[in-house]
Amino acid sequence: MSGHYEARFAAVGGQGILLAGDVLAEAAINYEGLYAADSPTYTAQVRGGPTKVDVIIDNKRIEFPRTTAIDFMLCLAQRSWDRFAKDLKDDCIVLIDPSLVHEVDEKYRVYRLPVIEITKKKMRKMVFTSAVSLGAMAGLTNIVKPESLRKALLKKAPRGTEDANKKAFQLGYDAALELLGKSG
Amino acid sequence: MTIRLAHYLRMNHMPHMWCPGSGIGIIVKGILTAFDELSINKNDLAFISGIGCTSRAPGYLDMYTLHTTHGRALSFATGVKFSRPDKNVVVISGDGDSTAIGGNHLIHACRRNIDITMIIVNNNIYGMTGGQYSPTTPTGAKAATSPWGNADHPFDVSALCKAAGATYVARAHVGSGVQLQRLIKGGLEHKGFAVIEVLSNCHTQYGRRNRLADPIDLINDVAKKTVNVRQAVKMSEEELEGKYVVGLIHKDESRKEYCEAYDEVIKRATASR
Amino acid sequence: MDKNKNIERKVVFWPGNIIVAEAAIAAGCRFFGGYPITPSSEIAHVMSKRLPEVKGKFIQMEDEIAAMGAVIGASLTGMKAMTATSGPGFSLKQENIGYACMIEAPCVVVNVMRGGPSTGLPTAIGQSDIMQARWGTHGDRPVIALTPAYSDEVYSETIRAFNLAEKFRTPVFLLIDEVLGHLSERLEIPDPSEYELIERPRPTVKPEDYNPYDPSFGDVPPIADYFSGYRYHTTGLNHDMTGFPTTSQELGQSEQERMIRKVMSKVDEFESYEEYMTEDADILIVTFGSTARAAMVAVSDARAAGIKAGLFRPITLWPFPEDKLRELSKNIKGIVVPEANLGQLIYEIQRVAHCDAPIVGVNKVGGVPIYPNEILVKIKELV
């Protein structure tokens, strides 16, 4: 990773998106010796409302802890896109699920991946949405090494769900590589 | 001169500041007698108050005495008791202090059932601040802030405490010193939140405004309105209108005391480590 | 806290509120009295879990006032005690905070600041309680308020809050804000060998010779734990050295002056601040807490643009580090005071700074933090 990286995970409450942000930050801190800052939106609306978490990663101490130029955004709801698609760099990598997000500004590097469908069909439990998303992010970006993300995810996963999380991560990762035209 | 119970008193701080004829002296004596009969060591005793005439009592007592802010005595007492459940914590408070500004703390201490003994001296008026009507001033009575008669409706303090969950509720009249001592002693022995409401007299602020300026007249006036709890059960609601039921009103030993309940929390938390 | 290479520190990723709770326990806090309020509630959540694990006591009281009272009661028994709140709760606590000042009971009050006045913005940043911390309770009394800006500082300043409370027998405020309370970043937990824990002065004289405010022991007289054999009286009224009420004007004056002197005469020992590129600065930025982090970026950006900017960041906000600011402001062309309120600290800067140069604020309320470029714009205006 070069110098400074900003990522935004946007969804609606209940999709487990806060977890994805924490996993990225902890991967950077624990496995790559980087600094990370993680600020969730903080509202009383825990379920159902638009929510996001911003993660900043840097190779030195982070001064301003809020995002100003976002390099990567994952979005899993149109409402969340409409509300949170701000401060994105022009070459921002945008990962959306086309079944949930229909209209985005095409000036960004937009990748459409059916995260929800993959989770529903292959994992059968929506709780793995964040693991699939993280896998997809690992495939599309080089913020941190895929292996670091995987390790951080497994460390955070509830006991007994490690194998399923590993599988979900791999599904997202492979789907992203396929999208990029690379083979897994 | 030897004064019985003097070992609980700070004699160097006498004379006290209370009006001659005020019921507070009888009440303090009742409390100290109960301490003495139960052999409570003054080194194991915190005596806590808020603001008002009644709340000046701790200053005269040789123990750990804490004269706090208006209405808040129970919150401080909760901090002391919860930190040291092995010690005795007693709160003394007037009707304004405990049921108006401190009303929220009172009902929640009752609900929490923390092992504190609470003496509420109810003289139906704010004495120290100059005779304003309190939550226990009878409807129609005159006060510095009700010169045309009180439009407000009074609390039944004991009923309030019972309803809020206090596990020992007693009411005594300042003219019945022996019963008063016995009920305070029972409250101290009770494991849980104990309220002893003492019907007292403020002839200076209440009496003078309501044609009862002589302390004996005022004490007798209240005494006339008391009904013992044993008689009260035989009386109808209409007959009890305007009366004060005295005696042990409520006692429940089945509910767990708060500090003991928290000890179990500690056990669970330390076992899971 | 200096890094010690030989010590293996645990690295964690906690939001500021959790750091406060864990640091409090590391500081020896064994009593927490609280009341739910956003955005500080996570402190209570963690304390309710962690305190019974270390045989401490957690209690959720019926209101903010009672929480403060319970903390003072616990402190009198010798416990290190804390409460945490936010704007409206801080307002409610002020009466009992004054009581703690008056009876000289050590305790720590955390305020995770949000937008105000009134209910304001419960879930978003504000820095609008700094003057409430300074002047909130009635009467003159000493005030110590700490304003950390980074996760490691939140940890170390929480510990320092307890140390100062114990050392000076007074309430100490830890003022953070919603941004810091919920910001997770890399934190290396210091090893207990890396910091000192201070205990309140306790009496060594015979109980019959003990007076709770005895000036012969200096400006911070020893305080006896309840039930330790030293029976004494405590009142919020003006009192003499024995703790009993007095109406003496002379004693009223001398006791109140001692209470303030006990802190003010030792300011040099606990004053703390950070300076960044102030040596040759033409434009000085003075700010605190999370806003100072935007100011750090603004200073770097200004320097990159050829403007000699520098940052002065008080960590001990109250008492304000006056001497240092006076010195820094001597040859300055302008001072910028960014704060997430409509202008509070700026009054202190105007009072303290020795310069005819303009002093301007960058003020933002409404729940969004001040961004570096907003400070930079003001810097450029001044040049």
DSSP string, B126-193: BTTTTSB--TTSPTT--BTTBTT---S----HHHHHHHHT-SEEEEEETT-HHHHHHHHHHHHHSSS-
Say whether residue B60 is in contact with chain C using an 8 A CB cutoff.
no
| CB nearest to B13's CB, from C73, C227, C244 | C244
Return the residue of C nearest to A28 by Cα.
C186
List the one residue out of A76, A97, A88 whose CA is nearest residue A9.
A76
B72 within some domain: yes
Q: How would you write C202-218 as a 3-class SS string?
A: CCCCCHHHCCCCCHHHC
- Domain total of chain B: 1
Say whether residue C186 is in contact with chain B using an 8 A CB cutoff.
no
Contact C274, C311 (CB under 8 A): yes
| CB nearest to B63's CB, from C74, C81, C231 | C231
Taking CB atoms and an 8 Å limit, are B72 and C55 in contact across chains? no
Say whether residue A39 is in contact with chain C using an 8 A CB cutoff.
yes
Chains A and B touch (3+ CB pairs under 8 A): no
Contact map slice: A 14-33 vs C, CB within 8 A: 22, 25-26, 29-30
What SS3 class is residue C304? Answer: helix
Max Cα separation, chain C?
69
Q: What is the pLDDT of residue A50?
A: 85
B114 within some domain: yes
List the one residue out of A55, A45, A60 whose CA is nearest residue A18.
A55
Distances (CA, A) of C104 to C96, C171, C172: 12, 8, 11
Q: What is the pLDDT of residue B273?
A: 64
B9 within some domain: no
Given a cut of 90, whether residue B1 has pLDDT beyond it is: no
| CB nearest to B84's CB, from C68, C77, C233 | C77
Pairing of strands B168-173, B244-251: antiparallel
> Domain range holding B252?
21-271
Q: What is the pLDDT of residue A184?
A: 46
Q: Domains of chain A, with CATH numbers? A: 4-180 (3.40.920.10)
Q: What is the pLDDT of residue B4?
A: 81
CATH number of the structural domain spanning residue B198: 3.40.50.970
Q: In B, which residues are within 8 Å of C76 by CB distance?
A: 64, 66, 76, 79-80
- Separation of alpha carbons C276 and A61, rounded Å: 15
Taking CB atoms and an 8 Å limit, are C53 and B273 in contact across chains? yes
Return the residue of C nearest to A37 by Cα.
C185
Taking CB atoms and an 8 Å limit, are C179 and A40 in contact across chains? no
Number of Cβ pairs < 8 A linking chain A and chain C = 61
| CB nearest to C236's CB, from B69, B78, B270 | B69
Contact C314, C320 (CB under 8 A): yes
Backbone angles phi, psi at C170, to 5 degrees: -155, 155
Which of C227, C230, C237 to mutate to test binding with chain B, by most B CBs within 10 Å of its CB?
Answer: C227
CA atoms lying within 13 Å on the CB side of residue C51: 28
B92 within some domain: yes
B88 within some domain: yes
Which value does ipTM take for this structure? 0.97
C269's CB contacts (< 8 A; 6+ apart) are: none
B66 within some domain: yes
- Separation of alpha carbons A79 and A11, rounded Å: 8
B189 within some domain: yes
- Separation of alpha carbons C268 and A70, rounded Å: 43
Say whether residue B14 is in contact with chain C using an 8 A CB cutoff.
no
B4 within some domain: no
Q: What is the pLDDT of residue B2?
A: 60
Q: Domains of chain C, with CATH numbers? A: 10-194 (3.40.50.970), 207-267 (no CATH), 274-382 (3.40.50.920)
- Chain A: touching chains (3 or more CB pairs < 8 Å): C
Q: What is the pLDDT of residue B88?
A: 98
Q: In C, which residues are within 8 Å of A22 by CB distance?
A: 13, 184
Say whether residue A54 is in contact with chain C using an 8 A CB cutoff.
no
pLDDT in tens, chain C (383 residues): 455 567 889 999 999 999 999 999 999 999 999 999 999 999 999 999 999 999 999 999 999 999 999 999 999 999 999 999 999 999 999 999 999 999 999 999 999 999 999 999 998 999 999 999 999 999 999 999 999 999 999 999 999 999 999 999 999 999 999 999 999 999 999 999 999 999 999 999 999 999 999 999 999 999 999 999 999 999 999 999 999 999 999 999 999 999 999 999 999 999 999 999 999 999 999 999 999 999 999 999 999 999 999 999 999 999 999 999 999 999 899 999 999 999 999 999 999 998 899 999 999 999 999 999 999 999 999 99
DSSP string, C22-85: HHHHHTTEEEEEE---TTTHHHHHHHHHHHHHTT-EEEE-SSHHHHHHHHHHHHHTT-EEEEEE
Say whether residue B7 is in contact with chain C using an 8 A CB cutoff.
no
Q: In A, which residues are within 8 Å of C11 by CB distance?
A: 29-30
pLDDT in tens, chain A (184 residues): 569 999 999 988 777 788 899 999 999 999 999 999 999 876 654 556 788 999 999 999 999 999 999 999 999 999 999 999 999 999 999 999 999 999 999 999 999 999 999 999 999 998 999 999 999 999 999 999 999 999 999 999 999 999 999 999 999 999 999 999 875 4
